[in-house]
Structure 1
Amino acid sequence: MTHLYNPQTMEFTPFLFFTGKGGVGKTSTACATAITLADKGKRVLLVSTDPASNLQDVFGMELTNQPVEIPSVNNLFVANLDPETAATQYKERVVGPYREKLPEAVINQMEEQLSGACTVEIAAFDEFSSLLTNKELTKQYDHIIFDTAPTGHTLRLLQLPTAWSGFLEESTHGASCLGPLAGLSEKKKLYEETVAKLSSGEQTTLVLVTRPDISPLQEATRASKELGEIGIQNQVLLINGMMQNHVKEDEVSQAFYERQTKALERIPAELKQVTTYAVPLASFNITGIENLRKLFMNSAILDVMTLESEDMKTAPLKDLIENIHKTGQRVIFTMGKGGVGKTTVASTIAVGLVEKGHKVHLTTTDPAAHLGHVMHHESVHGNLSVSRIDPKVEVEKYREGILNQSRELLDEEGLAYLEEDLRSPCTEEIAIFRAFANIVEKASNEIVVIDTAPTGHTLLLLDAAHSYHKEIERSIGEVPASVQQLLPRLRNTKETGVVIVTLAEATPVLEASRLQEDLKRANITPTWWVINQSLYATHTKDPILHGRAMSEIEWMCEIEKRSNGQYVVIPWKAQDIVGYKNLKHLTV
């Protein structure tokens, strides 16, 4: 049974960790929980370790890694740990001693190995471990709330004996995120104490934040299972953004409500065992102390109909398709965080280009694999071919290849570390990119549209691996010729278009901006942005949804600036768009 989430009437453990995929409301619910507990008379420390943290915007003041009291909330102290800065400092501690001693290509390789998400997360873990185990600090507070918890992958790495040995300094086995722990051997005891606190049900609660939608619910299930397996059993599920009432006369309102209802009916069985709470859908931006105080008040609805609507450009997707048609680009990538609709956008672009007379090959990593069965009617779309890359198959193939190369070189502990390292996000990106590269290499006389592309870090990692291989006679893994040839092709905007897909919300836009900067490091410039599932573009009259629509304006302005005006908008749709004809409707 799902109850409304009300920290005012609930009892909490000393430590609370909020986790969930980007855009589900981790920061909002963590902040609102902290304020509610502080208003209740509890002394609270709120800490963010999220690289895309917007705590400063939420509280309207500058924040640092030192706790500061929020003037308008008695008993509340906030610290904003910057894992990006910590990762940069950590990277230099590891690489610095080798400068001037090793060839430049090797140094570049080491730096890029330490530039990925895994290193940032290890650095974040290092930061909050130091805080969590500081008895002088922790005894000052009734509750310490962390916005963003470590992943199961990071915690498993920390629990492996090999992570703390000299193995990393010598290994050239092919791990995708080689060495994020190489400089932390002196922290082993500190980390063991941190993991022990995380695993204690009396001290720590893991709050799995999700939305009433299929993708975030699946992500919450994965996180619950992963973290539960390593001892973090005290979990609660927080479903954020539940629409409790709807306007039957408003088609968007009715469809929004029905979509949530269907998603919740299909909630994974594993999550049904977790104590569940709901947070009502808010009609306002969750920034500012007063709005945060209203988040858990079921009756707190702003008079959103009085908000003024700024006239934002909402160019349709057909403008982007027309641009590709005119410029003659042959390879199109859609990029963005999970859950923003990359697959739908890639599919629609492919269909739009077919309608303009092009022969198109669409390839995707969509695990639902629904594209194949709706697109085989050659009489309808003879110029469109579709393939699906199975991430599990490609990752397993890649992992087995690396492990087979390394079995004679490593002992049992070394292989255990390598196996865990090869579960990292970078491994999946590399494995899938190799499969994409093979498709592009084989394709001729057609445009290739690729759903889900690697980050700039992964591209630089592959590039560095290639340079490293040329520089010395050993390598972190063979880089196939198809990958080597595709890397420079990606950097050629005349041939390749990179499309960033996002939602007009804080976290997706901040993460998309980080992705843009990451790509620039790899000398890749996105050509277009797509704002997907926009309520602003629906002109809904539902009071709650209209308020949400107005809150999109701030982020649409940010996207307009980031994209130099090269963005298009797809209105919110009730259903996943499946089938050639339905996709075609989005192109007109």
Structure 2
Amino acid sequence: MYPTFSIDSMELTPYLFFSGKGGVGKTSTASATAVGLADLGKKVLIVSTDPASNLQDVFRMDIPPTITPVPTVPGLDAVNLDPEAAAAAYREKLVGPYRDKLPQPVVAQMEEQLSGACTVEIAAFDEFANLLTKEKVTQGYDHIIFDTAPTGHTLRLLQLPSAWTNFLEDNTHGASCLGPLSGLAEKKTLYEATVEALSNKDRTTLMLVTRPDQGALAEGERAARELSDIGIKNQVVIMNGIFEVNSAVDDDIADSIYTKQQQVLKDMSEYMRSQAIYQLPYVPFPLTGIDSLRKFFTWRSEGLGPDYAEDISFLPQVLPGLQAIKEDLMEKSQGVIMTLGKGGVGKTTVATALALSLAKAGKKVHLTTTDPAAHIDQVLKDEHISEFLTVSRIDPTRETAAYREEVLSTSEKELDEEAMAFLEEDLNSPCTEEIAIFRAFAEVVDQANDQFVIIDTAPTGHTLLLLDASQSFSKEVERSSGEVPDSVKKLLPRLRNPEETNVIIVTLPEATPVLEASRLQTDLQRAEMSPSWWVINQSFAATKTTHPVLRARAIEERIWIKQIVDVEAEEAVLIPYMKEELIGSEKLLKLVMEGDNNAN
């Protein structure tokens, strides 16, 4: 269909950015490319800029925020950029020199100004830019591979150079929500050099990883268009997970996967068809460990017979279906329900199915998303479902404009012309969007006084930043508008109260999603939030598949299902792989009505 992605037959630029919707295999593809290039004798550095990095899971080793050799792959180094650690170092660099020279309240105010999400963004970008532009780093490598965050975060990261450069040029007052601009002005040359590197087709290629899935392709196209608009035009599409039907096996699940993929590819937009597209296979083994990464690009299903997978009893024990969560929630009449997890695990599907089932049972429900990708409308197809269900999306552009207008209109009667000019400039900084989204998030949660509010949240890293930043955002809102809304004040106590908030972690029964979900749970518990349920989604082990590739996947799933049930979850439910596309209310409601899933 498409040529197979092969690093030894392609001319690859020095900088390779792997981007894509969460769950498409971006980290696996980036890591396999890094190993493959090193095996060809190239000197390679792989860098993760994802706040929720799982690079260490793929390589099965600790990867610190300093460049570290991968022992079993000569010529390959790796580094995990830590946004929080970078922010702390950046903050101390600015504030440290003043600790003994200024009164303590002034120093405290500086630290407050540098405590928001903007500081995390700009500090992480500094690390990223230093790697990209410092000759003493780049000259030591033939290729630097960036395993970037899921698409929404990647777009923000790659748009930061022009955003911050423009802000520095336009701001004349010397202060912002980032704190003293003297700490940023010296970076202007660095940012300009980074923009130049990103836009140079001889130096940088954007590798857009996607899957033959409607949502993944739609987000891939959005990323391709927006990145092209900001000058990153050298793009390659890698279509990962192409499934091949084994003619020796009659299996309806395998047939459904193949048929769905082929239909999605047939319906692909002309814009995506015009791109250089390569494909990678749907493999039966987990893409963790050097041996698996080495055979990823060369594995073929030819000759894989029906005896490839052993005859097994798939599941370690009986697990309930999604109906169990609905029954638990039916005992209440209101509250916040949040679905969290790695991108691509089915958070939107679970959130929407629960919302529909509760509304059908007569419960008042408001369903919303804080995910920039916003797939709820694709799942529901704009159906009018029930008088008990309302649906919304927190739109960053709309919320930012409304927030900016509100602050300016509130302040114009109290501030003189010069102060208004200062405030307007301050509101043009990139972090205003983050503040506006946070406020909207708090307002939606505040609606859970007489109904259920179900929040389909953004991918893991963004969600944690949103929740962890609430204290500093409260201070920032107060600084900008002069008051903190009641919804903001009440947010954290409400989210931490298990009587008011149910946190549901959604995962797939695979190594990377489970390990990342485990880290998410640890971070939530540190923030005094305990997940109520784990949802194990799209399990082949809960089906009757006889296809050798899918049976091999089912065998591997048992390890991770057992890990969830025995170690991670207070309560767990299991959703089998569904042959049908879960689009429309009828199919989603059927998902909740399924009974227990067992080994038979």
TM-score range relative to shorter protein = 0.7 to 0.9
Residue 555 to residue 190, structure 1, CA distance change in 2 (3 Å): farther
Give the aligned partner of residue 158 of structure 1: 161
Tell me if the contact between 1:389 and 1:432 (Cα under 8 Å) persists in the aligned partners: no
CA-atom RMSD in angstroms: 3.8
Deviation for aligned residue 1:283: 0.9
Of 460-469 and 58-67, more deviation after overlay is shown by 460-469
Give the aligned partner of residue 524 of structure 1: 529
**Could you list the runs of 5+ residues in structure 2 that have no partner in the other structure?**
370-374, 595-600
1:509-548 equivalent positions in 2, closer than 5 A: 509-520=514-525, 522-548=527-553
Give the aligned partner of residue 433 of structure 1: 441
Tell me if the contact between 1:513 and 1:562 (Cα under 8 Å) persists in the aligned partners: no
Q: Deviations over 1:209-230 (max 9, x none)?
A: 1122122222222222222222
Deviation for aligned residue 1:27: 1.7
Distance 1:151 1:361 in 2: 32
Corresponding position: 1:455 with 2:458: no
Give the aligned partner of residue 230 of structure 2: 230
The residue type paired with residue 294 of structure 1 is K
Corresponding position: 1:569 with 2:579: no
Give the aligned partner of residue 278 of structure 1: 279
Give the aligned partner of residue 267 of structure 1: 268
Corresponding position: 1:579 with 2:588: no
1:373-452 equivalent positions in 2, closer than 5 A: 374-376=383-385, 384-389=388-393, 391=395, 393-402=398-407, 418-419=427-428, 421=430, 424=433, 426-427=434-435, 429-430=437-438, 432-437=440-445, 439-441=447-449, 444=450, 446-452=451-457
Residue 414 to residue 275, structure 1, CA distance change in 2 (3 Å): farther
The correspondence for 1:500, drawn from 489, 498, 505, is 505
The residue type paired with residue 122 of structure 2 is I
Q: Deviations over 1:350-400 (max 9, x none)?
A: 344456x55222323455266485454xxxx67x33333462544543344
Distance 1:497 1:67 in 2: 40
Deviation for aligned residue 1:273: 2.8
Identity %: 43
Give the aligned partner of residue 305 of structure 1: 309
Residue 6 to residue 463, structure 1, CA distance change in 2 (3 Å): same
Q: Deviations over 1:513-552 (max 9, x none)?
A: 4544554455333222222222332242222222233333
Give the aligned partner of residue 176 of structure 2: 171
The residue type paired with residue 323 of structure 1 is D
Of 552-561 and 134-143, more deviation after overlay is shown by 552-561
Residue 230 to residue 354, structure 1, CA distance change in 2 (3 Å): closer
Corresponding position: 1:26 with 2:31: no
Tell me if the contact between 1:403 and 1:419 (Cα under 8 Å) persists in the aligned partners: no
Distance 1:169 1:554 in 2: 55
Deviation for aligned residue 1:70: 3.8
The correspondence for 2:349, drawn from 344, 347, 352, is 344
Distance 2:477 2:394 in 1: 28
Of 241-250 and 274-283, more deviation after overlay is shown by 241-250
Deviation for aligned residue 1:141: 2.7
Distance 1:313 1:201 in 2: 54
Residue 498 to residue 63, structure 1, CA distance change in 2 (3 Å): closer
Corresponding position: 1:287 with 2:304: no
Give the aligned partner of residue 198 of structure 2: 198
The residue type paired with residue 402 of structure 2 is K
Residue 157 to residue 447, structure 1, CA distance change in 2 (3 Å): closer
**Could you list the runs of 5+ residues in structure 1 that have no partner in the other structure?**
173-177
Of 365-374 and 411-420, more deviation after overlay is shown by 411-420
Of 159-168 and 251-260, more deviation after overlay is shown by 159-168
For the residue of structure 1 that corresponds to 2:546, the secondary structure is: coil
Distance 1:66 1:56 in 2: 13
Deviation for aligned residue 1:169: 6.2
Residue 107 to residue 487, structure 1, CA distance change in 2 (3 Å): farther
Distance 1:428 1:515 in 2: 24
Distance 1:563 1:3 in 2: 41
The correspondence for 1:102, drawn from 101, 105, 116, is 105
Q: Deviations over 1:171-200 (max 9, x none)?
A: 36xxxxx56987444333233223212211
Corresponding position: 1:250 with 2:251: yes
Tell me if the contact between 2:286 and 2:511 (Cα under 8 Å) persists in the aligned partners: no
Q: What's the TM-score, normalizing by structure 2?
A: 0.81
Give the aligned partner of residue 598 of structure 2: none
Tell me if the contact between 2:340 and 2:457 (Cα under 8 Å) persists in the aligned partners: yes
The correspondence for 1:359, drawn from 352, 363, 367, is 363
For the residue of structure 2 that corresponds to 1:151, the secondary structure is: helix
Distance 2:104 2:146 in 1: 40
Residue 336 to residue 40, structure 1, CA distance change in 2 (3 Å): closer
Give the aligned partner of residue 77 of structure 2: 77
Tell me if the contact between 1:112 and 1:460 (Cα under 8 Å) persists in the aligned partners: no
Tell me if the contact between 1:465 and 1:475 (Cα under 8 Å) persists in the aligned partners: no
The residue type paired with residue 448 of structure 2 is V
Distance 1:258 1:108 in 2: 56
Tell me if the contact between 2:98 and 2:107 (Cα under 8 Å) persists in the aligned partners: no
Distance 2:443 2:516 in 1: 25
Give the aligned partner of residue 122 of structure 2: 122
The correspondence for 1:333, drawn from 335, 338, 353, is 338
For the residue of structure 1 that corresponds to 2:104, the secondary structure is: coil
Deviation for aligned residue 1:280: 0.8
1:203-214 equivalent positions in 2, closer than 5 A: 203-214=203-214
For the residue of structure 1 that corresponds to 2:77, the secondary structure is: strand
